[in-house]
């Protein structure tokens, strides 16, 4: 699985750490690993490899994807909740990184500050993967691109519209992933939630070089016309819970419902899918939504045949496995 590309020992702190060829190659590796897993023919490429899962924030998919990915290939993971280790409290992040690097072959980090994942990479001496920070969610973007590729084949030329909180970790990583893949990406968000101008400019430059475009738009009906993918995420990310009420008011017009899916013009021809990184507020069955009801997506969209959210969730496993194997596999 090399094809001239070598990711041995490499970290993934933001999606910019990967070239377009490397992303395309990782997606192919993940698709191959998925076929192997479904056929019951996983190899044992991570035997003797130990991966630390250092998590400051909650997680279902990222944590489980990492644990199962490593185990499938004969490797081991150790879950280290940040509340139960000394990270940044009795010990600097740099010191914890140096200790982990003496014991583990790689570190997957989920937390708040991008600086923490950068320090882990700088001081541990082993590959570090960003499993979500306030700034970015690159492993999610890989699974998103894989899911689009599974459905449509080529990524270049497809139109992806993200509707909601346009400056969050998922939106901005997806924006860059789509740009690198030569897609047409629209970040549909109110002016107050636009990503930084330099980020938009950079993503658009990257996209244009590859035959795509990136733009920001505040009108959902206009944004989704011709979309092949409609994507949303929660309106308040982990750590922003105090902004919940204001966000619900601000982002209501950006809810992904059947009217918005119809406005793509691609529903009847079965040429559009719905994606969400999950967890999603699509019904009344959570503590948060028992009073408010659905938020960023309605239940009929979430449960529709064109919703590929559980394929997307499964693809977290195959893409994280592709990263682990490509970084840690022995010659
Ligand atoms: N999409 C995602 O990162 O899910 P978790 O928060 O469950 O890991
Ligand atoms: N933007 C969300 C993604 C969760 C997977 C958050 O950061 O909470």
Ligand 2 pocket check for 169: Cβ under 6 Å: yes
What does the H/E/C string look like for the chain?
CCCCCCCCCCCECCHHHCCHHHHHHHHHHHHHHHHHHHHCCCCCCCCCCEEEEEECCCCCHHHHHHHHHHHHCCCEEEEEEHHHCCECCCECHHHHHHHHHHHCCEEEEECCCHHHHHHHHHHHCCCEEECCCCCCCHHHHHHHHHHHHHHHCCCCCCEEEEECCCCCHHHHHHHHHHHHCCCEEEEECCHHHCCCHHHHHHHHHHHHHCCCEEEEECCHHHHCCCCCEEEECCCCCCCCHHHHHHHHHHHHHHCECHHHHHCCCCCCCCCCEEEECCCCCCCCCCCCHHHHCCCCECHHHHCCCCECHHHHHHHHHHHHHHHHHHHHCCC
How does strand 50-55 pair with strand 76-81?
A: parallel
Mutate which of 138, 170, 236, 278 for ligand 1 pocket (most atoms within 8 A of beta carbon): 278
Q: pLDDT digit string (tens) for 127-141?
A: 999 999 999 999 999
CA angle 51, 70, 233 (to 5 degrees): 90
Residue 163 pLDDT exceeds 60: yes
Average pLDDT, stretch 267-279?
A: 98
pLDDT of residue 247: 98
Q: Which ligand is nearest to the CA of 136?
A: 2
Give catalytic status of residue 316 as yes or no: yes
pLDDT of residue 3: 72
Active-site residue among 188, 233, 276, 318? 233
Active-site residue among 277, 282, 312, 318? 277
Average pLDDT, stretch 201-226?
A: 98
Q: pLDDT digit string (tens) for 88-114?
A: 999 999 999 999 999 999 999 999 999
Give catalytic status of residue 217 as yes or no: no
**C-alpha 330 to ligand 2 mean position (Å):** 33
Average pLDDT, stretch 234-247?
A: 98
55 and 83 in contact (C-beta within 8 Å)? no
Ligand 2 pocket check for 232: Cβ under 6 Å: no
**Ligand 2 atom 7: the closest Cα is on which residue?**
237
Ligand 2 pocket check for 238: Cβ under 6 Å: yes
Ordered structural domains, the chain, with CATH: 15-136+314-328 (3.40.50.1370), 140-313 (3.40.50.1370)
Give catalytic status of residue 137 as yes or no: yes
Give catalytic status of residue 140 as yes or no: yes
Active-site residue among 49, 72, 140, 184? 140
Structure tokens at 92: 């600097």
């Amino acid at each position: 699985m090399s094809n001239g590309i070598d990711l041995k020992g490499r970290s993934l702190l933001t999606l910019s750490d990967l070239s377009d060829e490397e992303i395309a190659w990782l997606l192919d590796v993940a698709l191959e690993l998925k076929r192997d897993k479904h056929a019951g023919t996983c190899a044992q490429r991570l035997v003797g490899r130990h991966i630390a899962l250092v998590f400051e924030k909650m997680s279902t998919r990222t944590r489980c994807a990492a644990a199962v990915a490593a185990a499938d290939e004969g490797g081991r993971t150790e879950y280290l909740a940040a509340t139960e280790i000394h990270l940044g409290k009795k010990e600097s992040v740099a010191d914890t990184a140096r200790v982990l690097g003496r014991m583990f072959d790689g570190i997957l980090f989920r937390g708040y500050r991008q600086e923490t994942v950068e320090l882990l990479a700088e001081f541990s001496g082993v590959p570090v993967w960003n499993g979500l920070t306030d700034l970015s969610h690159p492993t999610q973007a890989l699974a998103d691109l894989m899911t689009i590729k599974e459905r449509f084949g080529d990524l270049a030329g497809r139109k992806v519209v993200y509707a909601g909180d346009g400056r969050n970790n998922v939106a901005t990583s997806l924006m860059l992933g789509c740009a690198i893949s030569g897609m047409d990406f629209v970040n549909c968000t109110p002016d107050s939630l636009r990503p930084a101008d330099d980020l938009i400019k950079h993503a658009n430059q990257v996209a244009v070089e590859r035959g795509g475009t990136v733009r920001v738009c505040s009108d959902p009906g206009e944004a989704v016309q011709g979309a092949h993918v409609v994507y949303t995420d929660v309106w308040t990310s982990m750590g922003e819970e105090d902004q919940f009420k204001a966000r619900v008011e601000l982002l209501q017009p950006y809810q992904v419902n059947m009217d918005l899916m119809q406005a793509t013009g691609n529903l009847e021809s079965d040429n559009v899918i719905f994606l969400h990184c999950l967890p999603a507020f699509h019904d009344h069955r959570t503590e948060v939504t028992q009073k408010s009801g659905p938020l960023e997506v309605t239940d009929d969209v979430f449960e529709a045949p064109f919703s590929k959210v559980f394929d997307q969730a499964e693809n977290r496993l195959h893409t994280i496995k592709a990263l682990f194997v490509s970084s840690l596999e022995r010659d």
